[in-house]
Amino acid sequence: MPKKPAVKDYIRTIVDFPHEGIMFRDVTTLFADPRGFRMAVDQMLHPYAGEQIDKVVGLEARGFILGGAIAHQLGTGFVPIRKKGKLPGTTISQEYKLEYGEAIVEIHDDAIKPGEKILVVDDLLATGGTAGAGIKLIERLGGEIISCAFIVDLPELGGRKLLEEMGMDVHVLCEFEGL
């Protein structure tokens, strides 16, 4: 009997993208496959069955794809965290460090009410910089983060450790070694 495919089997690796020495984990192949995409969304939802979640927050950009699907399944609202200057309303922002420089993410200042239960989602957890900045924004608005869910973790880059040190519960569907 053939092996049942796992989420990891739907993710392709592109060598030397965007720079030499990088193994890019491309989830667009997972999103393009109806079975793979449903499997990923279902598995990301599973740990939270029966928990109260008021809103799903997706991190730019692939977190929007996952976050919208997960929010729909939960019957909750969806909130985007975007790069600076992309949201039309009044925002709050958070700076974070990149490998070479810094970046800023923003959220609408009225997107989350104090005490709301939040699930943070994105496709990939690397250094944890973007997720950490998103967590800080949510907490500044008074949101209570239930968990952070990702399809892929790159453990060598330490993102999971960083988020757990921030007191976050972290759920991932698969891991890839290397950069």
- Catalytic-residue membership of 62: yes
Catalytic residue among 20, 35, 62, 165: 62
- Catalytic-residue membership of 99: yes
Per residue in 30-53, is it b (16+ CB within 10 Å) or e — as a string? bbeeeebbebbbebbbeebeeeeb
**Residue-wise DSSP of 28-93:** HHHHHSHHHHHHHHHHHHGGGTT----EEEEETTHHHHHHHHHHHHHT-EEEEEEETT--SS-EEE
Catalytic residue among 12, 25, 35, 99: 99
Look at phi and psi of residue 152 and say left if phi exceeds 0, alpha if psi is from -120 to 50, else beta: beta
- Catalytic residue IDs: 62, 99
